[in-house]
Structure 1
Amino acid sequence: MPVPLIDLSPWFHGTGRDRDQVASAVDTALRDSGFLMVTGHGVPDELRDRTRALARRFFALPEATKAAYAVTVGGRGWLPPGVEANAYAEGTESPPDLKESYSVGADDAVGDPEVDAFWFQPNVWPDEVPELAATAREYLSRMRTLSDQLLTVFAAALGLPAEFFTRHTGHPTYTFNINWYPPMSRVGTPEAGQFRIGPHTDFGTVTVLDRQAGVGGLQVCTSDGRWEDAPFDPTAFTVNIGDLMARWTGDRWRSTRHRVLPPDPSAPDEDLVSLIFFYETDHDARINSLAPPLGSTRYPEVVASEYLRGKLDEITVGQHDRIGPDGVVP
């Protein structure tokens, strides 16, 4: 399978041997696939369903109403169509991604105005869907807890102290994107090379995705370069690591290319909503690659927020042409 399924219940409720087996399975999945699906995570289905239903109410609002919350990549609020093209991160010119997003994230300021202005902005919530704020905050809390639990499993998978990764998530940055993929009946026929989300890798440490099955759904790129449909289990979260984690492990684990297919003529009315939690680290965390025999590649040390900011600039439509040869936007 391009994305193996792993039950976390033995990690939470089993013996030491059970936990070792879960950790070993996670290590294998991240080495071979970079993706896994997890059940036994403890997050209620009702919360996932409620979050998605409230988000749909927002996306159904008139464009003029949503425009009051419009931002670009890295902002807090509504990312309208046309502002993001994930394939840019690979250096591929492509039409904008066929999606809308509502984006919130970490808002517990650290007291440094320059840092807070980007990484800990106040979240903005739509007045027209007042229940979304409390529900999304509850979802965010669950996702942060689950992400730290996954990082603890990751440490065990590498034979490292339990807090090896989580000692860098005491005051982390993270983003929660609710993506709406409109139907073809609304957006029309996709342009050549246009996707709901273009081919890319994620940027941070761990991504936790709650998705819906669809014809125009998630595909992952296998280690031999083939695109395959990601399997689906309605009770599971889809989990993958990002570039920062791959760098941290010295390329022991794969930050895997993936994409969301464009709407398909066979399902012109299909629309999907994905809940995507991107977990990172403390903004000032210094990331150094694990030495052999765990890692195989030694990368220069990076500061997490500086590294991630450059990646976000790359996928922002309008910023791409301004990025210099050193990867920095003037």
Structure 2
Amino acid sequence: MGRVIPTIDLRRWTVGDAMTRAALARDVDQALQAAGFLLVTGHGVDPGLRAGIRAAAREFFLLPAEVKQRYAARVGGRGWLGPGTEANGYAEGTETPPDLKESLTFATAEPFEDPVVNAEWYAPNVWPAEVPALRGLCEEYLGRMAALEKELLSLLACALGLGADFFARHMDHPTYGFNINWYPGTEVVGEPQPGQFRIGPHTDFGTVTVLDRQAGRGGLQVHTDEEGWQDAPYDPAALTVNIGDLLARWTGDRWRSGRHRVLPPPLDAPGEELISLVYFGECTPGTLVESLPAPVGRGAYPPVDSHTYLRAKLDSITVG
């Protein structure tokens, strides 16, 4: 799997000369054609910040259910997604049991000028009063993610031979999703049902996803045509980046929307607990996503409004 999901050092892009940047862009293009995933080092995101978010979020997840219920939200909203809320396999048309996780979910802090867009895509973030440290940590992290996302989109545009702002110009006032996913052991979630995962097989819906994950036996797996399901490579210094559906459509499937899943708690380590920080990049509401023609694109999708697509996908994974 490391052969098709390489590690790239983003400093080759941010401080490299023209030849170094061009070589990196070629490497990225080849990797994203194979699996839709990269490991990215040199991103500058403080590991202490990531650890701090995990510690604060874990305090929340360990609270009694009746306390957490005060912050309950729907999929795509802001707050707590409790057990049984999502089944990501539904997005592929697979009737799996609900995912074995809980999430805290946040999104853009800035309202939109258009009242119709605002009604659909904005609400104030909900910060649990029981864990006051979480807000500052997450807001700092999300600032870093927004900057990293734009840097990555610039690199990706150049990897396709396009102007550096080809994707980033659709980021004037983007939406995004940020999930802190808690994957507890079986003492919390019970014995998994047949076909039940911490997160069922799916592709992400937006542009790029930036994942800070922990190594685990019941962890991330990635699917490729050549190797099927394999454990994703792990580097504690790296962030995992994958292509979502909107960017795959934009590139005419030159780049794959990375199919993945998170395994249930392992039989030989049923108490395993993991926490992932997942930033789902999107774009400004109203963006029209049109497939790039050949020779960049490999096929053509009908043009789609970015947020019509996103809403349909979020609705598709909602249980009940």
TM-score by length of 2: 0.98
Determine helix, strand or coil for the equivalent of 1:215. coil
Q: Which of 163, 166, 173 is equivalent to 2:165?
A: 163
SS of the residue 1:281 aligns to: coil
**In structure 2, distance between residues paired with 1:190 and 1:184:** 8
Match of 2:76 among 63, 74, 77: 74
In 2, distance between residues paired with 1:108 and 1:186?
36
2:116 corresponds to which residue? 114
- 1:225 shift after superposition: 5.8
CA distance in 1, matches of 2:221, 2:90: 18
Q: Deviations for 1:139-166, whole angstroms, at most 9, x for unmatched residues?
A: 0010010011000000110110010000
Find the residue that maps to 2:45 and give its secondary structure. coil
Alignment partner, residue 292 of structure 1: 294
Task: Give unpaired runs (5+ residues) of structure 2.
Answer: none
Offset, 1:176: 0.3
Q: 1:232 aligns with which of 231, 234, 237?
A: 234
Task: Answer with 20-29 or 237-246: which moved more.
Answer: 20-29
Secondary structure of residue in 2 paired with 1:282: coil
2:193 to 148, 166, 191: 191
Post-superposition shift, 1:185? 2.1
Once the 2 structures are TM-superposed, how far is the Cα of residue 242 of structure 1 from its aligned partner? 0.5
Across the aligned residues of Structure 1 and Structure 2, the Cα RMSD in angstroms comes to: 1.0
Name which of 28, 36, 39 aligns with 2:30.
Answer: 28
Pick from 272, 276, 279 the counterpart of residue 274 of structure 1.
Answer: 276
Q: Pick from 115, 123, 138: which aligns with 1:136? A: 138
Instruction: Give the Cα–Cα distance (whole angstroms) in 2 for the partners of residues 197 and 251 of structure 1.
Output: 24
Q: CA deviation at 1:56?
A: 0.8
- Contact residue 250 and residue 294 of structure 1 kept, 8 A: yes
Aligned residue number for residue 88 of structure 2: 86
**Which of structure 1's runs of 4+ aligned residues deviate more than 6 A?**
none
Residues 1:225 and 1:313: Cα distance change in structure 2 (over 3 Å) = farther
**One-letter amino acid of the structure 2 residue matched with residue 52 of structure 1:** R
Question: Residues of 2 paired with 1:242 and 1:248: CA distance?
Answer: 10
Partner residue in 1 for 2:316: 314
1:328 corresponding residue in structure 2:
none
TM-score (ref. length: structure 1): 0.95
Aligned counterpart, 1:324: none
Is the Cα contact below 8 Å between 1:74 and 1:118 reproduced in 2?
Answer: no
4-13 or 107-116, which deviates more: 107-116
C-alpha distance in 2, partners of 1:82/1:31? Answer: 34
Quick one: which of 41, 45, 48 aligns to 1:46?
A: 48
Identity %: 59
Per the TM alignment, residue 303 of structure 1 is displaced from its structure 2 partner at its CA by 0.9
| Whole-angstrom distance in 1 between the partners of 2:183 and 2:120 | 26
Corresponding residue for residue 180 of structure 1: 182
